[in-house]
């Protein structure tokens, strides 16, 4: 007689949520609060990604602004303006994020 068929279960790598069986089911208010918190976190992550993108674009614009004769004068001038404006915009995003995180 053969024993039960056993298989190897792959190890969880993406941090599974552990549910506490001693607490009751989540109420509607608790669920709303949890979902709102998740939405705020996702929104924060998106704004942080935008901030990184603006900084990277500012660096690229600076490279073009200092690229010499390979770039047309108008392109260099516009890139020069962008290279100073984009980091300021990223800094403004960061300030708003920090201010709203305290609320």
Provide DSSP, 33-81. Answer: HHHHHHHHHHHHHHHHHHHHHHHHHHHHHHHHHTSGGGS-HHHHHHHHH
pLDDT tens digits, one per residue of 28-49: 999 999 999 999 999 999 999 9
Q: Does residue 1 register a pLDDT over 60?
A: no
In a domain, 29, yes or no: no
Residue 91, pLDDT score: 97
In a domain, 98, yes or no: yes
Residues 6+ apart with CB under 8 A from 4: none
In a domain, 34, yes or no: no
In a domain, 81, yes or no: yes
In a domain, 83, yes or no: yes
Q: Does residue 12 register a pLDDT over 70?
A: no
In a domain, 51, yes or no: no
Q: What is the model's pTM?
A: 0.70
Q: Does residue 11 register a pLDDT over 90?
A: no
In a domain, 78, yes or no: yes
Q: Does residue 88 register a pLDDT over 60?
A: yes
Mean pLDDT of all residues in the chain? Answer: 89
In a domain, 94, yes or no: yes
Q: Does residue 103 register a pLDDT over 70?
A: no
Q: Which domain holds residue 78?
A: 69-102
Number of domains within the chain: 1
């Amino acid at each position: 007689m053969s024993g039960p068929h056993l298989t190897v279960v792959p190890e969880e790598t993406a941090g599974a949520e552990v549910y506490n069986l001693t607490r009751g089911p989540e109420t509607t208010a608790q669920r709303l609060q949890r979902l709102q918190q998740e939405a705020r976190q996702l929104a924060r992550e998106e704004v942080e990604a935008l901030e990184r993108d603006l900084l990277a674009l500012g660096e690229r614009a600076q490279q073009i602004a200092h690229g010499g004769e390979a770039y047309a004068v108008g392109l260099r001038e516009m890139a020069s303006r962008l290279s100073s404006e984009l980091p300021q915009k990223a800094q403004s995003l960061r300030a708003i994020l920090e201010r709203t995180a305290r609320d």
